[in-house]
Chain A
Amino acid sequence: MADVATVAIGVVQAAGIVALAPFLTGVMRKVKARTQKRVGASVLQPYYDLAKLLKKDEVVSDQSSWVFRAAPWVMMVATVTAALFVPALLPLSPFGAVGDVLVVLGLFGLARFFTMLAGLDVASAFGGLGTSREMMMSALAEPAMFMTIFVVSLTLGGTNLSSLVGAAAQSAGFVAVPSMLFALIAFFIVILAETGKVPFDNPATHLELTMIHEAMVLEYSGKSLALVQWSQSIKQLILLALLVNLFFPAGMPPSLDAGWQVAAGAGAFVAKVALVAALVAFVETRVAKWRLFRVPDLLVMAIASSMIGVIFYYL
């Protein structure tokens, strides 16, 4: 079972996710800027932002309660904990025995729950607006996510992430199995929704009236804002890692015995995440934001797609 070495590997892997998440955000912003004929900020800009925010004082509304102060910590702890369970560079999560994919989704749900509470807690009009929109979206995004995971679990067997990814490594990915193809479509749409990308939400806007996620965290400043942004980056990297490891097994080491294979697998993982991230950024460039009340259509499409995946599995 879990000896010291695997625990160490797991901790290092989680630390890597936490440390590199802002870098991924920076890369996605850079790709977005370049595809939009802008020069864009450095890929390290998210780190500079975090460093700046961590040094700054906070302004906290006197109308708010402990919920507002606690929420960023809950978000951070929930996403960092989720990072411990997710196989990223290695097709292995050493803490798999205590947490599977459902726990990861549950942790995201917890973080979201506290974000929404914090949005309501400050009693500003925008927090309430953002929260009600987020509830509408998550009421559809979460079922879509679970349906997708259901298809993946059926196809690859079980909900334990290590065994799922291990099975994925032996498979040909989505290419050979139609049910996985439909799950992939659904998963991609859900990732766009969960990370607040353009057809759903515009993270770059300054217009309070159109915001979803940003409206909920509008009142945060200083360290709390840093935690909010950082945990958002970590969540994004975890979701992309899941997508890559479950659906694109190419390059994954079949076993952990050969050191060079493991290293090549890690390299392949980085390359695949970067590619998918670039694809997401490209999608953001290519479409305008949808009308708020048309957004559910897209999520319903994700649910439908994963339903088709279930049907294909049983056919």
Chain B
Amino acid sequence: MMSGDVEHAGAVKYRAAVLRKLGRKARSVRTLNGNEIHVTLAGKEDAPDACHFVSDELKTKLATVICTDECQQGRGFVVRYVFGKENGEDVFIFVTVNIDAAEQSFPSVALRIPAAALFEREIKDMFGLVPEGNPDTRPLVLHEHWPGDVHPLRKDFDGRTKVGRVEGREYPFGKVEGEGVCEIPVGPVHAGIIEPGHFRFSVLGENIVNLETRLFYTHKGIEKLAETMNLDKVLLLSERISGDEAVANSTAYCQAIEKAARAEVPRRALQTRAVCAEMERIYNHLGTLAGMVTDVAFSYGAARLNILKERMMRLNEQVAGSRLLFGVNRIGGVGIDLKGKEKLVMDTTSSVLEDFNRVVSLLRNKSSVVDRLRNTGSIARKVAGDLALVGVAARCAGIDDDTRRDHPYGIYGELDIDKHHDTPQHLMEYEVEMQKRRGDALSRFDVRAEEVVNSAGIIVRIINNLHDGELVVPDVRDRLEPYRHALGYAESHRGQTMHWVMIGENRDSLFRYKVRTASFVNWPAIEQAVLSDIVPDFPIVNKSLDLSYSGNDL
């Protein structure tokens, strides 16, 4: 756990670099919460250049774009572009732009940083600020029936308002025209028991020429809802953003609050969080692998993996009282105690791992399975970089970003989870390995299988030296100050999840809660991944990316 006021060594270096280049354009450059460098620009027209500099020359990756409505505080709208340095120093750079309440527009950076396009469309819907120059002017979050002039995240919009239905508008899907090109609309209601999402395929025979996804059918208004709740309730809300990422999302939320309060969380609590986070990773990866194997109709392998997933979920229930690991986190610590359950966790994990290794070697030797996965749903490294993909979707394409290592939080800093850089020999082998990754479903299979093994190892290492001491530090809430803000992050099984909080006026509430899950960033990847595939392979591509609808449709 980082203590609030100490500026990290990496942050000093990057602050100097930012000052050198952007010093004249910036109103202020300061370090907050140890690893957050905040650059406030004097004028909003400098944003594209500044963002481009931070992203290209400092080699950072767009993590999220946060908009807040601070008009009532006299600061207008504030847009913060957050860039994270991956695979290097632990630092986040915030490029902050103030927008006059009367102007209602801001310059788009999407043409230079493609990953920003979705965020800007989101801001346009939720705040009514127009990103000038973003080529895609279509709505993203709000669908056709929502009135165009109502922007839910503005402070003057009451979340309890029932807005009317607007009829007669239609979403303009991209058209592919030509001889023999057909459109296949799929969803939003699907044949299986899954969440809603619409896929518009343009096909030439069986070959997919273009795919457009339309999501946000289950938009729940989580960010708006959080502004009306107290901090403990928001914790429950964060667990429910996407049920299978309960630990990762609530950990990120708690860490944001704890960072804002400059609280030291007891080691035992951090260890418990990490154990539960890894248990979550294991059961979800097992589920995804089982799903991939089901989709190639190799039911035997799928059944074996589903048995293992079930065993892990029963372990979850015995450890945390919830199969989905709800209720693990508290602000300032954890709500469950691992003492007395060490042996149970160790025994179950290691016997699951033993079986898992057998099943994986069975699957790797099954030519009919491997043939279906190889070269299916390839994501080029360039695409993965441009879209700023996170988690397995990035790692499968050879971009090795892992928040646990790049921005060590909780107990991960001590765990040395990445042993690739020990010796030059290891480093070289590792780089060769990364070059070999082709971004197809098979490499996603391999990455997931490897992560299950790693997570089991992490659990064993933590359980073996479990600390004594407190489970919760009690005074977090008292140390919060109005309008302090902090970034919390965690690596879920889908990838980096980012939670940014700004404390509200009465300390036990939030002024703004911005969540960016891995699913939001990774969904666009599917449109690129299917381009070399045929229609019947789409379900494998979809499953291997393991994207959450609920985690996307906040």
Check if A293 is an interface residue, CB within 8 A of chain B.
yes
CA distance A194 to B304 in the complex (A): 29
Contact B536 A292 (CB under 8 A): yes
A-B contact pairs, 21 of them (CB 8 A): A35-B300, A36-B303, A38-B303, A132-B205, A202-B297, A206-B192, A208-B191, A209-B536, A210-B536, A210-B539, A285-B300, A286-B300, A287-B366, A288-B293, A288-B366, A288-B369, A288-B372, A289-B297, A290-B368, A291-B534, A293-B206
- A213 in contact (CB, < 8 A): no
Shortest CB-to-CB span from B184 to chain A, Å, is 4
A125 to B186, CA, bound (A): 9
Given contacts A37-B303, A198-B297, A288-B296, whether A209 and B538 have CB atoms under 8 Å apart is: yes
Q: Counting CB contacts under 8 A, is B535 at the interface?
A: yes
Q: For window 271-297 of chain A, which residues contact chain B by CB distance below 8 Å?
A: 284-294
Q: How many residues of chain B have a CB within 8 Å of chain A? A: 31
Residues 159-199 of chain B, each 1 if its beta carbon lies under 8 Å from chain A, else 0: 00000000000000000000000111110001110000000
Neighbouring A residues of B293 by C-beta, 8 Å? 288
Closest 10 CB pairs of A and B: A289-B297, A288-B298, A202-B297, A288-B368, A206-B192, A288-B296, A210-B536, A125-B184, A207-B539, A288-B369
B5 near A: Cβ within 8 Å? no
Min distance, Cβ A312 to any Cβ of chain B, angstroms: 29
Distance between A224 CB and nearest chain B CB, rounded to angstroms = 18
Chain A positions within 8 Å of B205 at CB level: 132
- Of all chain B residues, the one with the shortest Cβ separation from A208 is B191
- Rounded to whole angstroms, the CA-CA distance of A198 and B295 in the bound complex is 12
B363 to chain A, nearest CB (A): 9
Measured CA separation A179–B199 after assembly (Å): 50
A109→B39 CA distance, assembly (Å): 72
Q: A125-B184, A202-B297, A207-B191 in contact; A289/B372 too (CB < 8 A)?
A: yes
A293 surroundings in chain B (CB, below 8 A): 206, 534
Give which listed residue, A202, A207, A285, A287, contacts B192 with CB less than 8 A. Answer: A207
CA distance A117 to B372 in the complex (A): 30
Q: How far is the CA of A214 from the CA of B284 in the complex (A)?
A: 30
Let me know if A37 and B300 touch, CB within 8 A: yes
Contact A129 B299 (CB under 8 A): no
Given contacts A288-B369, A290-B368, 19 further A-B contacts (CB under 8 A): A36-B300, A36-B303, A37-B300, A37-B303, A125-B184, A129-B184, A206-B192, A208-B190, A209-B536, A285-B299, A287-B298, A287-B368, A288-B297, A288-B366, A291-B372, A291-B534, A292-B534, A292-B536, A293-B534
CA distance A32 to B366 in the complex (A): 18
CB-based contact B300/A291 at 8 Å: no
A289 with B296, Cβ < 8 A, contacts A129-B535, A207-B192 known = yes
Whether the Cβ atoms of B303 and A209 lie closer than 8 Å is no
Interface string of A108-136 (1 = CB under 8 A from B): 00000000000000000100110011000
Q: Tell whether A206 pairs with B368 under 8 Å between CB atoms, given A37-B307, A291-B537.
A: no
Q: Does B418 count as interface, using CB distance less than 8 angstroms?
A: no
Across the interface, do A205 and B303 meet the contact criterion of CB distance under 8 Å?
Answer: no
Q: Smallest distance from the beta carbon of B289 to chain A beta carbons, Å?
A: 14
Name which residue of chain B comes closest to A285, CB basis.
Answer: B300
Contact status B300-A207, CB under 8 Å: no
- Is B45 at the interface (CB under 8 A from chain A)? no
Bound state CA distance, A205 and B205, in angstroms? 22
Residue pair A205, B297 in contact (C-beta under 8 Å)? yes
Q: Which residues of B are found within 8 Å of A125, using beta-carbon distances?
A: 182-186
Most-contacted residue by chain B among A125, A206, A209 (CB, 10 A): A209
> How far does the alpha carbon of A129 sit from the alpha carbon of B186 in the complex, in Å?
12
Tell whether B371 is near chain A: CB-to-CB under 8 Å: yes
B299 / chain A contacts, CB cutoff of 8 Å: 32, 36, 204, 284-285
Q: Is A249 an interface residue (CB 8 A)?
A: no
CA A210 to CA B297, docked complex, whole Å: 10
Chain A residues whose C-beta falls within 8 Å of the C-beta of B369 in the assembled complex: 288
Interface residues in A124-168 (C-beta closer than 8 Å to B): 125, 128-129, 132-133
Number of interface residues of A (CB under 8 A): 31
Contact mask for chain B residues 281-319; partner A; CB cutoff 8 A; 1 contact, 0 none: 000000000000101111110011001000000000000
**Chain B: which residue is nearest A197 at the CB level?**
B297
Rounded to whole Å, the gap between the CB of A39 and the closest CB of chain B is 11
CB neighbours (8 Å) of B192 from chain A are 206-207
The interface residues of chain B lying within 8 Å CB-to-CB of A205 are 297
In the complex formed, the residue of A with least CB distance to B295 is A207
Inter-chain CA distance A106–B369, complex, in Å, is 35
Q: Given A129-B184, A288-B366, A289-B296 in contact, is the A209-B539 Cβ separation under 8 Å?
A: yes
Contacts of A209 in B (CB 8 A): 186, 535-536, 538-539
**Residues 233-277 of A at the B interface (beta carbon under 8 Å):** none
Q: Does A199 touch B at the CB level, under 8 Å?
A: yes
Most chain-A Cβ atoms within 10 A of its Cβ — which of B190, B297, B536, B539?
B297
Task: Report Cα–Cα, A291/B165, bound state, in Å.
Answer: 45
Bound complex: CA A162 to CA B307 (Å): 50
Residues of B within 8 A of A129 (CB): 184, 535
- A291/B539 in contact, CB under 8 A: no
Please name all residues of chain B whose beta carbon is closer than 8 Å to the beta carbon of A128 when the two chains form the complex. Answer: 182
Note all chain B residues with C-beta closer than 8 A to A291: 371-372, 534, 536-537
Q: Given the complex, which residues of B lie within 8 Å of A133, measured CB to CB?
A: 206, 536
**Chain B residues near A38 (CB-CB < 8 A):** 303
Complex Cα gap A210–B191 (Å): 12
A212 to chain B, nearest CB (A): 9
Report the minimal beta-carbon distance from B169 to chain A, rounded to whole angstroms: 24
**Bound Cα distance A35, B301 (Å):** 11
- Give Cα A128 to B307, complex, Å: 37
Instruction: Report the bound CA distance from A125 to B536 in whole Å.
Output: 13
Q: Which residue of A lies closest to B298 (CB)?
A: A288
> With A37-B304, A129-B535, A288-B372 known to touch, is A208 a contact of B297 (CB < 8 Å)?
no
Bound-complex Cα distance A105 to B185 (A): 36
Instruction: Quote the shortest CB–CB distance from B316 to chain A (angstroms).
Output: 22
Distance in angstroms from B61 CB to nearest chain A CB is 32
Nearest-neighbour CB distance to chain A for B441, whole angstroms, equals: 12
Identify the closest chain A residue to B193 (Cβ): A206
Chain B: which residue is nearest A207 at the CB level?
B539
Residues from chain B with a CB closer than 8 A to the CB of A202 are: 297
Chain A residues with Cβ under 8 A from B303's Cβ? Answer: 36-38
Closest B residue to A294 using CB positions: B371
CA distance A133 to B536 in the complex (A): 10
Min CB distance, A127 to chain B, in Å? 11
What sequence of 0s and 1s flags, for each residue 151-194 of chain A, a beta carbon within 8 Å of any chain B beta carbon? 00000000000000000000000000000000000000000000
Q: Which of B186, B295, B534, B536 has the most CB of A within 10 A?
A: B536
A206 to B182, CA, bound (A): 23
A87 CB to nearest chain B CB (Å): 34
Q: Which residue of A lies closest to B370 (CB)?
A: A288
Q: How far is the CA of A93 from the CA of B192 in the complex (A)?
A: 44
Counting chain A CB atoms within 10 Å of each CB, the highest count among B206, B295, B368, B538 belongs to B368
Please, which residues of chain A bring their CB within 8 A of the CB of B296? 288-289
What is the minimal beta-carbon distance from B81 to any residue of chain A, in angstroms? 37
- B356 smallest CB distance to A (angstroms): 15
CB-defined contacts of B535 to chain A, threshold 8 Å: 129, 209
CB distance from A100 to the nearest CB of B (A): 36
